[in-house]
Amino acid sequence: MTDLSTTYLGLNLKNPLVASASPLSKKIDRARKLEEAGMSAIVMYSLFEEQIVRESLELDHYLSRGTDSFAEALTYLPDGGMYGIRPEKYLNQLAGLKKALTVPVIGSLNGVSKGGWVSYARKIQDAGADALELNMYYIATDADMMSNDIEDMQVELVAEVKSAISIPLAVKISPFVTSIPNFTKRLVEAGANGLVLFNRFYQPDFDLDALEIIHTLDLSTSADLRLPLRWISILYGKVNADFALTSGVHTSRDVLKAMMAGAKVAMIASELLWHSSPDRVTEILRHIQTWMEEHEYASIKQMQGSMSQKSVKEPAAFERANYMKVLGSFRDLP
């Protein structure tokens, strides 16, 4: 029988399919059903830096009510909507998941600045998390801020978070970096044990009738797989970290491609949000096993990195040389 097991962040997983940070982990019963369907690990939805800061400001407000210490500070912070959960409730939810599940549970922090909120990395560890995923979702809007300033800030943040915990740390990054190989190398040197490629930037839209900004969340498709697939293929063997591919994982073939690129795990959420039944997990895993048997793969580990840049006959296909080739292959319309 084929061996679907893999390792990620030092964790022994029964297969490479991991539930990525999303509302899937908000209910313990739903997480338990995902485990029963075959999910090998679950990443908690994110606890945001803004939520922690907001709670701190609210506490300060009520302790100093009437002193006009900060009249409007809270109005600058988002209420969070579905993610507007207080830090203590998040930690309780994490502890509840750990008690209810046998698969690893990975905590998730979303933040970009250094500060007191980083102490929550240790609180997540103390709540029982098997590892921590740090999501550095950041949009630079200051024209005077240089790219190296942003990267330095994020590298320093990783080092600070890592110094606060003893559990493994994965860092989820943006693809909008000038030199991804150098940046990821610096993150690993700062203490990252794993790299999650990539976080998705949710873009606002305009309502032309109400003249308002619309906040939309578009779920991924398999076409979104290509960007992380390419970069994991390039980085595999060059950066000493465990890779997780996220965004665009919807089918068994998507998972297999992620493994061949060099990922240790493939993280899935949108597909499970589309399909309310956790049976989709079982179906994907069954198809993975069938494909591996038909193509005589004995294990997941056997195929990991087999299609990375260093392993294929045409490594230039991942680089600029492929740009001309792809454009040249397009035929003019009649």
The domain locations on the chain are: 6-328
58 has pLDDT over 80: no
**CATH class (in words) of the domain with range 6-328:** alpha beta
331 is written with which tokens?
A: 């035929």
Confidence bin at 113 (pLDDT 50/70/90)? confident
Least confident of 108-112, 202-206, 327-331: 327-331
Top-confidence residue, 325 or 236 = 236
Residue 174: closest CA among 223, 110, 234, 118: 110
Top-confidence residue, 277 or 96 = 96
Residue 197 neighbours by CB under 8 Å, 6+ apart: 172, 173, 175, 228, 231, 232, 243, 244, 245, 246
83 has pLDDT over 90: no
Please state the φ and ψ torsions of residue 233, each to the nearest 5 degrees: -60, -35
213 is written with which tokens?
A: 């900004």
d(C-alpha 100, C-alpha 103), whole Å: 9
Top-confidence residue, 15 or 139 = 15
d(C-alpha 176, C-alpha 200), whole Å: 11
Least confident of 48-62, 77-91, 279-293, 318-332: 48-62
Residue 72 confidence (pLDDT): 43
Interval 121-158: pLDDT, tens:
999 999 999 999 999 887 888 899 899 999 999 999 99
Question: DSSP assignment, residue 219?
Answer: P
Residue 74 confidence (pLDDT): 40
Top-confidence residue, 46 or 258 = 258
Confidence bin at 76 (pLDDT 50/70/90)? very low
Top-confidence residue, 159 or 329 = 159
Question: What pTM does this model have?
Answer: 0.87
